[in-house]
Chain A
Amino acid sequence: MPEQLIFGMEVFLNGLMAGVLYALVALGFVLIYKASGIFNYAQGVMALFSALTLVGIMEGQVPFGHLVNAIFGTEIHGFGWHVPAFAAILLTMGVMILLAWCVQRFVFRDLVGQEPIILFMATIGLAYFLEGVGDLMWGSEIKKLDVGLPQGINAVIDETTFEWFGYGFFIDNLDIVATIIAALLVAALVVFAQYTKQGRAMRAVADDHQAALSVGISLSFVWVMVWSVAGFVALVAGIMWGTKSGVQFSLSLIALKALPVLMLGGFTSIPGAIVGGLIIGVGEKLFEFAVGPLVGGATENWFAYVLALVFLVFRPQGLFGEKIIERV
């Protein structure tokens, strides 16, 4: 088999894996947009905030410790305990649910019925607020996140492909875990949306706020629930990306990777987020592999957006988005 084809296959597989990670971020956007029509600019920051909180809890860090020390001249740095990863994830989820309640109670409750642009602006404010609060609570230094996920080259794939092609493929164990988790997450979300009372309420609100209200569904409850689920998705994305790069401010920038996925897959479709992520992941990696060396490399960022733009021209609602029909 030609060498370039073998390399291309390796790039393709890695593109799929990268696409899953992009889709994880995009899922959070889709959930909130689907249920409330809000494009949540703060989704990336929620991933950062949840990961910061997780590391802080695991390491027994005192929230706002720096602030307390600066004001009162104390020397408090930690509780002196270490919380196991699973318990810390549960506690972090509790914090994200509390955050969802606060967002609903103090931001969006009073904005019901406002123009989408107003709601979008509110999420921009929320993003900056969360960034600042995250910094104050847990500090801005880079933190190592280790919840026990494996990292590094997968030896089985490396050896098997070496036997087949004379060249061992590089597939990161973390990417394989992310793929499995993303698949489980999507399955759980589908089951939740289709087969639970709360899930049906969420879908009803997504279809028509007014109709859902008229049959006694609490809009506040559904929105808190959706923001909580989006918080959970943000936590999963935060764990995956934070394990790769350490938990730091830049984690909030992963939202940039989700935008072309949303443009391509549609803002209202969970399968769209997954398929969109895969197309973007594979597309940008193959383009970089084939064309990158000819144009000086670093094509991935812009290529993802160009690809999304092409889809947008021919299918504005995205691959799986609801068709926009306006009657006059």
Chain B
Amino acid sequence: MKMKLASLALGATVAAAPAMADLVFPSLSYRTGPFAAGGIPFADGYADYFTLLNERDGGIGGEIAQVPECETAYNTEKGVECYEATKDSGALIYQPLSTGITYQLIPKVTADNIPMHTMGYGRTSAKNGKVFSHVFNYPANYWDGASAGVNHFLEQSGGSLDGKKITLLHFNGAYGREPIPTLEALAEKHGFEFNAIPIDYPGQEQKSQWLQIRRERPDYILFWGWGVMNQVAIQEAANIRFNMENFMGIWWSGSENDVKPAGMGADGYKSVQFHNVGSDFPVFDDIQKYVVDAGKAAGAGDQVGTVLYNRGVYAAFLAAEAAKQAQEANGTSAIDSGMMRDAMESLTITAETMEAAGLPNFGPEFSVSCMNHGGDGMAAIAQWDAEAQAWTLISEFAPSDASVIDPLINADSAAYASENNISEGCS
């Protein structure tokens, strides 16, 4: 009996582990815990895109893509455990989907020569590849998001924010405080008054913050929230009758989850996005046909086309494109994480690349280099139509204000390099 159990256990382990020639894209997902509603669609999108490549194209360059999932519950310690448990399986890239986990993994991935992609989160100054050799945050980071929001308000105000008041309502933690230096610099440049109002986790009770907003009457609000904080903030804004046209969330505060509970009150709410929204893209027809209808979807298949599912698809698309470019550059389909890192550092995403993948105009065109691991910081603005129950992009992807952001990135990355005895440079 013991022998039988041992054989079964061994068999299960072998079946679970990827074959050595497979391309391994570990997914550090969170399907449980307070943020599960946001983690599930992303993880589904990430897994479904690779399943599509396997089912439709026979993998990437003939190699099957494996996406072993490890549950982090959005918990930093568990995230690090997941990394340690999966890194020796031939992992090509990590997307930890948490700023806390990202900070812990930066030295680890660098030592292990595995690239990490922190798309729209993590350490903003990782854009400087001369310091953060293994961390990439293309196509946009938080400071780009702040700049995109201010640029939109600038346009809304007829080209001048002089004398206007912009409030940042934010999660009281590293993630929420991230855009403050940028917004202070932008306030100086454009002459608007800036103040920040923090909300403690989890943010179910925000009466104080919204009474303060009602007293101070800001012209515009930028919002950096996550989880239940998002739904409550949008509901409270509707309660005090704040003009939703002037209320904008960062991409983590701009999904269907965030606006639906407020019903019609959320109509007109805006969010910054670094990828397109909706399901009107050829790739989703293929996902429906080869993945969902074939019963191979990671989830129930009911998230296809939602903002966070699209983000998962986009993250997988960028990883798959880097893997393809690594295969081409090295003349082999069996790439390793070092080759993957090099390919990410020379990655170019054009309109043709996206069109070929069934994702026309899904994200901005950009290219990566050692000097710039973050692209041009292109972002667009989306708006919620409560009647149609849909997000729509209301602007083109536009670059962030590099004149303000680049000096901040250089200063922050230089401080990190100095603290960690890193010599800046490109290999």
Contacts and interface: CB of A to CB of B under 8 A. Distances in A.
B300 A140 contact: no
Contact of B235 (A11, A170, A244, A289): A244
B198 A66 contact: no
A251 B204 CA distance: 8
B239 A172 contact: yes
B211 A250 contact: no
A141 B215 contact: no
Interface string B188-199: 000000001111
A285 interface: yes
Contacts of A69: 300
A246 interface: yes
Interface residues of B, number: 40
Contacts of B238: 152
Contacts of B300: 66, 69-70
B409 interface: no
A206 B81 CA distance: 46
A249 B207 contact: no
B107 interface: no
Interface string A6-29: 010011001001100100000000
B181 interface: no
B255 to A, nearest CB: 10
Interface stretch (A30-38, A87-95, A266-274, A294-302): A294-302
A144 B260 contact: yes
A288 B209 CA distance: 9
A290 B157 CA distance: 33
A71 B235 CA distance: 37
B295 A250 contact: no
* Best-surrounded residue of A69, A246, A257 (most CB of chain B within 10 A): A246
Interface in A269-328: 284-285, 288-289, 292, 296-298, 300-301
Nearest to A140: B36
A245 interface: yes
Given A152-B239, A170-B240, A250-B34, A18 B207 contact: yes
B261 interface: yes
Q: Looking at chain B's contact residues, is the secondary structure mostly helix, strand, loop, or mixed?
A: helix
Interface string A152-163: 110000000000
B240 A257 contact: no
A285 B212 CA distance: 11
B228 A245 contact: yes
B232 interface: yes
A148 interface: no
Contacts of A244: 204, 232, 235
A253 B207 contact: no
B359 to A, nearest CB: 25
Nearest to A242: B261
Given A140-B40, A142-B231, A152-B238, A245 B215 contact: no
Given A140-B31, A244-B204, A250 B215 contact: no
A254 B204 contact: yes
Contacts of A143: 261
A216 interface: no
Contacts of A135: 32, 36
Nearest to A292: B208
B36 A298 contact: no
A248 interface: yes
A22 to B, nearest CB: 8
B33 interface: yes
Interface in B187-229: 196-200, 202, 204-205, 207-212, 214-215, 227-228
Nearest to B256: A142
Interface string B239-262: 111000000000000000100110
* Best-surrounded residue of A141, A144, A152, A288 (most CB of chain B within 10 A): A141
B228 A248 contact: yes
A7 B215 contact: yes
Interface in B80-125: none
A144 B240 CA distance: 20
A284 B238 CA distance: 24
B172 interface: yes
Contact of A151 (B32, B207, B231, B235): B235
17 contacts: A14-B211, A17-B207, A18-B205, A140-B31, A141-B37, A142-B37, A144-B261, A145-B261, A146-B263, A244-B232, A246-B257, A246-B260, A250-B228, A251-B204, A253-B202, A289-B208, A289-B211
Closest 4 CB pairs of A and B: A246-B261, A250-B228, A298-B198, A298-B172
Given A170-B210, A172-B239, A250-B227, 15 more contacts: A10-B211, A11-B208, A11-B211, A142-B231, A142-B257, A142-B261, A152-B265, A246-B228, A249-B37, A251-B204, A251-B228, A257-B204, A285-B208, A297-B196, A297-B209
Interface of A: 7, 10-11, 14, 17-18, 21, 66, 69-70, 73, 135, 140-146, 151-153, 170, 172, 241, 244-246, 248-251, 253-254, 256-257, 284-285, 288-289, 292, 296-298, 300-301
